[in-house]
């Protein structure tokens, strides 16, 4: 499925209020479906569909929403329920019990309830809320896909800077990749966003830290406009709240843009990408580093690595980060060190390299073992004889041949 986004423009105040009503109704139906599942054991997806009909008969505002949109809201409730069941089967610690939505910002239509104009420059919503016709502003790629691809669903998304329409197309994105035979192991960190086995580092721009002063200023203005129990919510309060939301939205878009560009460059220039699969939810429990970890957005970066790996049919492997910073990449000896110690000094073989580089080498070694290929890394800081260097050169040549075979054949 391909998702393209376009902004909805030239709408009146009444039209945007109608969109808000549709979003609240979708939230109502989703929460009602979750409550129905809680109160009745053995409820399935078909039962939630039947509940949508009952709600439409009982509530006049629910009848205004398109029937397919009501079903889509029930499907969202069932998605959270089914994911809860799957986590229970896997016996995970956090089961993720379905919760009620308090702040919903989307409503989803299937094949009915909307109509696209022949020139694909406007869209009309035909349900009972009377949203009417809205202009579409999008890039050339989105407009081209609107003409040639089949649209399965249309989502209306509310954000701080306006309303957007997301078009879900019945197609899979596939592109031809350039295979170079290169492999890379990535160590994720805070001092360096990523560092590979060749000591190449990328520094994260720290978007949240740079925008912190603007965020604090906007938050203070929101707090002054409304005081609970003393000062009610006024129009100025809502204006200040929207300005604060726009600052947060800009930071979110900066992070996403950074993650996409970095992941695209890494996967484009390498055939095998190995990264450490970090448990970020556990790491943010450290309140001294939680803000920096969240700002780095490691999870989003790794998700885009996997995405581009599927598009170009390249191998992207996530490995466990256990002991990758402690084990010596040369001899395997485990050297205990604190988080503040940024240099790896092995007491067994005498290697002294950057801690992150050592971890990247271990990560790459783990990933190549997963693929069934033995990875041999050259040692650092050791004086070797001529015969040892020749043997190492032969091993390196064999390893490069194996990598080329993987890139041309398996991948």
Residue 381 has pLDDT above 60, yes or no: no
Is 96 a domain residue? yes
C-alpha to C-alpha distance for 394 and 399, rounded to whole angstroms: 9
C-alpha to C-alpha distance for 401 and 407, rounded to whole angstroms: 10
Is 85 a domain residue? yes
Give the tokens for residue 240.
């200040």
Where helices occur in 326-406 by DSSP H, the ranges are 355-370, 386-405
Q: According to the model, what pLDDT value does residue 382 have?
A: 34
C-alpha to C-alpha distance for 177 and 313, rounded to whole angstroms: 7
Is 37 a domain residue? yes
Q: What is the mean pLDDT of residues 35-39?
A: 94
Q: According to the model, what pLDDT value does residue 197 have?
A: 87
Max mean pLDDT among 182-196, 241-255, 348-362 falls in 241-255
Domain encompassing residue 129:
2-169
Q: What is the mean pLDDT of residues 354-365?
A: 88
Is 358 a domain residue? no
C-alpha to C-alpha distance for 342 and 353, rounded to whole angstroms: 9
User: Of the candidates 311, 314, 317, 318, which has an alpha carbon nearest to the alpha carbon of residue 410?
Assistant: 314
| Contact between residue 368 and residue 273 where contact means Cβ atoms under 8 Å apart | no
| CA trace torsion 84, 88, 92, 97 (10° rounding) | 30
Is 101 a domain residue? yes
Q: According to the model, what pLDDT value does residue 385 have?
A: 33
Chain segment 43-96, per-residue pLDDT in tens: 899 999 999 999 999 999 999 999 999 999 999 999 999 999 998 998 887 788
C-alpha to C-alpha distance for 218 and 206, rounded to whole angstroms: 19
DSSP string, 112-150: SSEEE-TTSSEEEE-STT--EEEEEE--HHHHHHHHHS-
Chain segment 105-148, per-residue pLDDT in tens: 999 999 889 999 999 899 999 989 999 999 999 988 888 888 88
**What's the pLDDT band for 258 if we cut at 50, 70, 90?**
very high
Give the tokens for residue 93.
């610690």
Can you give the pTM of this predicted structure? 0.81
C-alpha to C-alpha distance for 40 and 287, rounded to whole angstroms: 40
Q: According to the model, what pLDDT value does residue 13 have?
A: 92
Residue 18 has pLDDT above 90, yes or no: yes
| Contact between residue 116 and residue 151 where contact means Cβ atoms under 8 Å apart | yes
User: What is the distance, to the nearest Å, from the Cα of residue 279 to the centroid of all Cα atoms in its chain?
Assistant: 15
C-alpha to C-alpha distance for 247 and 224, rounded to whole angstroms: 18
Give the tokens for residue 13.
């105040």
- Please count the structural domains in the chain: 1
Give the tokens for residue 74.
């029930």
Q: According to the model, what pLDDT value does residue 356 have?
A: 87
Is 45 a domain residue? yes
User: Of the candidates 177, 196, 399, 402, which has an alpha carbon nearest to the alpha carbon of residue 267?
Assistant: 177
Chain segment 282-307, per-residue pLDDT in tens: 888 888 888 888 888 899 999 999 99
**What's the pLDDT band for 149 if we cut at 50, 70, 90?**
confident
C-alpha to C-alpha distance for 98 and 71, rounded to whole angstroms: 18
12 Cβ contact partners less than 8 Å away, ≥ 6 residues apart: none
State the residue for tokens 């995970």: 92
Is 164 a domain residue? yes
Is 249 a domain residue? no
Residue 379 has pLDDT above 70, yes or no: no
Q: According to the model, what pLDDT value does residue 300 have?
A: 92
| Contact between residue 130 and residue 18 where contact means Cβ atoms under 8 Å apart | yes
Q: Coil, helix or strand for 226?
A: coil
């Amino acid at each position: 499925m391909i998702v393209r986004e376009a902004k909805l423009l030239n709408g009146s105040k009444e039209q945007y209020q109608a969109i808000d009503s549709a979003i609240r109704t979708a939230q109502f139906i989703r929460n009602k479906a979750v409550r129905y599942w809680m109160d009745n054991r053995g409820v399935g997806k078909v039962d939630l569909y039947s509940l949508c009909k009952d709600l439409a008969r009982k509530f006049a505002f629910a009848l205004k929403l398109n029937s397919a949109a009501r079903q889509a809201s029930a499907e969202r409730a069932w998605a959270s329920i089914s994911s809860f069941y799957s986590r229970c089967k896997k016996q995970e610690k956090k089961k993720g019990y379905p919760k009620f939505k308090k702040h919903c910002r989307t409503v989803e239509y299937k094949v009915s309830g909307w109509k696209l104009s022949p020139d694909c420059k406007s869209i009309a919503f035909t349900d009972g809320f009377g949203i009417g016709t809205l202009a579409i502003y999008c890039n050339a790629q989105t407009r081209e896909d609107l003409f040639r691809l089949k649209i399965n669903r249309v989502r209306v998304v509310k954000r701080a800077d306006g309303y957007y329409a997301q078009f879900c197309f019945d197609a899979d994105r596939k592109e031809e990749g350039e295979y170079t035979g290169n492999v890379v192991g990535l160590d994720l960190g805070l001092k360096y966003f990523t560092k590979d086995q060749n000591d190449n580092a990328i520094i994260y721009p720290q978007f949240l830290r740079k925008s912190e002063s603007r965020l604090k200023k906007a938050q203070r203005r929101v707090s002054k406009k409304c005081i609970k129990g003393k000062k009610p919510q006024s129009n100025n309060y809502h204006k200040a709240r929207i300005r604060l939301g726009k600052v947060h939205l800009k930071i979110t878009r900066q992070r996403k843009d950074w993650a996409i560009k970095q992941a695209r460059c890494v996967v484009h220039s390498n055939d095998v990408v190995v990264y450490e699969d970090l448990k970020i939810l556990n790491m943010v429990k450290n309140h001294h580093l939680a803000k920096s970890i969240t700002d780095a957005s490691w999870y989003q970066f790794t998700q885009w690595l996997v995405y581009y790996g599927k598009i170009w049919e390249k191998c992207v492997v996530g490995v466990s980060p256990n002991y990758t910073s402690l084990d010596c990449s040369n001899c395997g000896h485990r050297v205990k060190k604190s988080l503040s110690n940024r240099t790896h000094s092995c007491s067994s073989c005498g290697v002294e390299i950057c801690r992150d580089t050592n971890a990247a080498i271990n990560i790459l070694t783990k990933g190549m073992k997963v693929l069934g290929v033995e990875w041999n890394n050259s040692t650092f800081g050791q004086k070797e004889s001529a015969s040892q260097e020749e043997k190492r050169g032969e091993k390196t040549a064999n390893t490069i041949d194996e990598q080329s075979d993987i890139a041309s054949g398996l991948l």
